[in-house]
Amino acid sequence: MSAVDSVGSFPLGASTTLAELARDPHPRLALLRAREPVSWLPALDGWLVTRRDLALSVMRDSTTFTVDDPRFSTARVVGPSMLSLDGVEHTRHREPFAAPFRPREVRDGFTSFIERETGRLITALAPAGAAELRRDFAGPLAVAVVTEALGLADATTETVLAWYDAIVRAVSDITAGLDAGPAGAAAYAQLRAAVEATVADPDASSLLASAAQRLPLPEVASNAAVLMFGGIETTEAMITNALLQLLGHPDQLALVKADPDLLDGAIEESLRLEPGAAVVDRYATRDTVLGPATVRRGDLVTVSLTGANRDPATFPDPDRFDVRRANARLQLAFAHGPHHCVAAHLARLETRIALQRLLERLPALRLDPVRPAAPHGLVFRKPPTLHVRWDRPS
């Protein structure tokens, strides 16, 4: 089926705009999921998959739906890495970085550090009675943890956040069909230089130095970039989106305060409703049938994690935030299959500790009513800002 034929066969997809998907995608994704679960979107110049079972089939089958394509947006900014390779090459890139991110290693290796950093950040914020928690709290915490995990030397929080912003912007522009400016490439060059300096230090003991024993330096740098990029993006979004959901639903917040064991459910439910990464891209390696669509070799196939996470076939009343939802952990915010997020356990630990400490130490924590927040973004979704208030000690 040609692109022209696809437009006629998928009218909802033909009328879907990128602006709509960035601003408030949920009503449109619900329509697509019900009527065109695999739809051709001219705005993407590719297919959009919104039904959960079909999303899983794409992410599980890296032979038919690969990331290894010259168009893959992140690889165009930082080069080939575990994120943009499949099969043996994917394993070769991923394995040298995987060990510290296993559940026990995460718990034993990072809990104390995360608690110290969280405490330090909250102590600095507490006297003010108000803050913007995305960049005054969630971002700095994520940067501290990911630089600690990698062992990256001599990089300040401000510098790392600047690199991250530039790389995210470049990837988002490429995904939206725009030309990425020079800032993303410049940021990656600076990150690569920092990685090289860390590896070159004979006294340093770090994950980067360990990986350099198994991978050439350019591959260490590209994988460090995607781990840093993913670690900051995932955790900053998880904390910010979960705070927005909890503070925006006082009844659910009251349940969590009454029973702290519900906090994990609240985090999973927030991941389900607003995954920080809204989509993942794949490319068809052969002609194949996917749901109602005939996908041709070379076609872009974009999986909407946001759409799949609100599939009513799996999640009844899917638009409701319910911290007691029994199957919330079936959400796909960390993707699925070979490219399931390598640091998912670390992101969960960071978010749990961050939310626990904020709720414990900032009395009557609440959204700032005069500065409303809402998630935004085509590829990466979170509130641009999250202004909150709390009661200062008298």
> Which two three-digit tokens encode residue 155?
């990089």
- Which residues span the domain enclosing 230? 3-389
Report the percent of the chain where pLDDT is more than 90: 87
Put residue 357 in one of left, alpha, beta given phi > 0 → left and psi -120 to 50 → alpha. Answer: alpha
The string of pLDDT tens digits covering residues 149-164 is 999 888 888 899 899 8
Residue 7 pLDDT grade (very low, low, confident, very high; cuts 50, 70, 90): low
Work out the average pLDDT over 300-307: 98
Alpha carbon distances (Å) from 155 to 15, 198, 207, 224: 45, 10, 15, 13
The CATH number given to whatever domain includes residue 129 is 1.10.630.10
Q: Is the pLDDT of residue 394 over 80?
A: no
Secondary structure (DSSP) of 179-248: PP-THHHHHHHHHHHHHHHHHH-TT---HHHHHTTTS-HHHHHHHHHHHHHHHHHHHHHHHHHHHHHHHH
The string of pLDDT tens digits covering residues 91-106 is 999 999 999 999 999 9
The answer to whether 145 touches 235, Cβ cutoff 8 Å, is yes
User: What pairs with residue 39 in β-bridges?
Assistant: 48
The string of pLDDT tens digits covering residues 239-272 is 999 999 999 999 999 999 999 999 999 999 999 9
Q: Which helix (H) or strand (E) holds 42?
A: none
Burial 319-339 (b: 16+ CB within 10 A, else e): eebbbebeebeebbbbbbebb
Work out the average pLDDT over 4-16: 82
pLDDT (0 to 100) of residue 2: 44
Does residue 394 lie in a domain region? no
pLDDT (0 to 100) of residue 1: 45
Between helix 250-258 and helix 263-273 the angle, nearest 10°, is 150
pLDDT (0 to 100) of residue 5: 57
Q: Is the pLDDT of residue 292 over 90?
A: yes
Burial 178-193 (b: 16+ CB within 10 A, else e): eebeebbeebbeebbe
Does residue 251 lie in a domain region? yes
The string of pLDDT tens digits covering residues 48-82 is 999 999 999 999 999 999 999 999 988 999 999 99
Q: What is the mean pLDDT of the chain?
A: 94
The answer to whether 309 touches 283, Cβ cutoff 8 Å, is no
Does residue 263 lie in a domain region? yes
Q: How many domains does the chain have?
A: 1
